[in-house]
């Protein structure tokens, strides 16, 4: 496995491989890799000739009061996992490589970023959209792989790749979960044992919402109430949002017709958990 740290070397590697007709799969990450990332790497390996994993804790997507400084960083373990999974390139640039002096461009996907995570974390999606645009432009992958856990992020990246003709297929892979349903996330390491036991409340709420839809429920407000009731039983959990949305526009649904995405974010202590379920009826 080759580790690349500069934008120039990454672009050169990509150009050389394009010339040889190699299809590149990109798995963008912020490191602290877990089984969810491993699943993305494996699917990239299966569908592309060469796999690039980017490892960059992107300061632009963290608000001033968020956890950029204490975001988990495990560069050695990440490199070991990537090597073991047959990754060809680990692209781990320094922040000055991505945002050199004078950098001032922002990519925005305003309608998809307006609600939910975008409302809770102002500026977050501009940071995501900007860095992902840079990564797709540099690496020029045939396909880029993202987890469904960040449903809104995946929707927004799918849109921007199409809007900006970036030439990469955006593949969204199902969420990988612990045995009790908790969606894998690099931030889960911050949960204390007591908080960890409370954390599945979010997935339980989403499942209750899904069950209510599959039982014939069609009112968005009623399904939202079902989900709120489940989280409400967990005294450690506070609700940021629990929503019933159109999976394409992410706008709230008053009436569910043929499908919906249930989006949720809760807080347990200082930790935010997000998750979602796509429901077809």
Interface positions, 5-44, toward ligand PAF (CB under 6 A): 28-30
117 counts as binding ligand PAF under rule CB under 6 A: no
* Residue with smaller CB distance to ligand PAF, 13 or 56: 56
Sheet of strand 259-268: strand arrangement: 237-245, 259-268, 271-280
| Main-chain phi, psi angles of 139, to 5 degrees | -80, -30
Q: How many CB atoms lie within 10 A of CB 265?
A: 21
- Asked if 185 and 255 touch (Cβ cutoff 8 Å), the reply is no
The interface mask with ligand PAF, positions 47-86, x = CB under 6 A, is: -----------x--x-------------------------
Does position 128 bind ligand PAF by CB under 6 A? yes
Q: 37, 94, 124, 255: which one is catalytic?
A: 37
124 is catalytic: no
Candidates 68-76, 102-110, 125-133, 250-258; binding stretch for ligand PAF (CB under 6 A): 125-133
Q: Based on the shown chain and the rule CB under 6 A, indicate whether residue 118 belongs to the binding site for ligand PAF.
A: no
Binders in 181-220 for ligand PAF, by CB under 6 A? none
Q: Which is nearer to ligand PAF, 98 or 277 (CB)?
A: 98
Segment interacting with ligand PAF (CB under 6 A) among 82-90, 128-136, 166-174, 217-225: 128-136
155: contact with ligand PAF by CB under 6 A: no
From the CB of residue 70, how many other CB atoms can be counted at a distance below 10 Å?
Answer: 10
Range 112-138 burial, b when 16+ CB lie within 10 A, else e: bbebbbbeebebbbbbbbbbbbbbbeb
User: Which segments of the chain are extended strands (E)?
Assistant: 2-4, 24-29, 50-55, 89-91, 143-147, 169-173, 237-245, 259-268, 271-280
Can you tell me the distance from the alpha carbon of 24 to that of 261, in angstroms, rounded to the nearest whole number?
30
Task: Answer yes or no: are the C-beta atoms of 62 and 127 closer than 8 Å.
Answer: yes
Contact flag: residue 131 with ligand PAF (CB under 6 A): yes
| Residues that bind ligand PAF in the complex, under the rule CB under 6 A | 28-30, 58, 61, 128, 131-132, 150, 153
Q: Which residues are catalytic?
A: 37
């Amino acid at each position: 496995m080759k580790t690349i740290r500069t934008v120039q070397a990454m672009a050169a590697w990509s150009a050389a491989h394009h010339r040889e007709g190699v299809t590149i799969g990109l798995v963008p990450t912020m490191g602290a890799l877990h089984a969810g990332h491993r699943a993305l790497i494996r699917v990239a390996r299966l569908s592309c000739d060469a796999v690039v994993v980017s490892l960059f804790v992107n300061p632009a997507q963290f608000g001033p009061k968020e956890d950029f400084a204490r975001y988990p960083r495990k560069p050695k373990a990440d490199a070991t996992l990537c090597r073991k999974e047959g990754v060809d390139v680990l692209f781990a640039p320094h922040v000055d490589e991505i945002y050199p002096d004078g950098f001032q461009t922002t990519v925005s996907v305003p309608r998809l970023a307006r609600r939910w995570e975008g409302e809770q974390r102002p500026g977050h999606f501009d940071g995501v959209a900007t860095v992902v645009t840079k990564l797709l432009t540099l690496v020029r992958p045939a396909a880029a792989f993202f987890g469904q856990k960040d449903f809104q992020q995946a929707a927004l990246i799918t849109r921007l790749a199409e809007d900006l003709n970036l030439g990469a297929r955006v593949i969204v892979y199902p969420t990988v979960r612990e045995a009790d349903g908790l969606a894998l996330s690099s931030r889960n390491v911050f949960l204390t044992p007591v908080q960890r036991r409370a954390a599945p409340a979010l997935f339980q709420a989403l499942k209750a919402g899904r069950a209510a839809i599959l039982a014939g429920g069609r009112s968005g407000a009623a399904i939202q109430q079902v989900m709120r009731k489940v989280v409400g039983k967990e005294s450690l959990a506070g609700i940021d949002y629990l929503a019933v949305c159109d999976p394409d526009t992410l706008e709230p649904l008053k009436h569910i017709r043929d499908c919906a995405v249930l989006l949720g974010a809760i807080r347990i202590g200082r930790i935010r958990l997000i998750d979602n379920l796509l429901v077809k009826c």
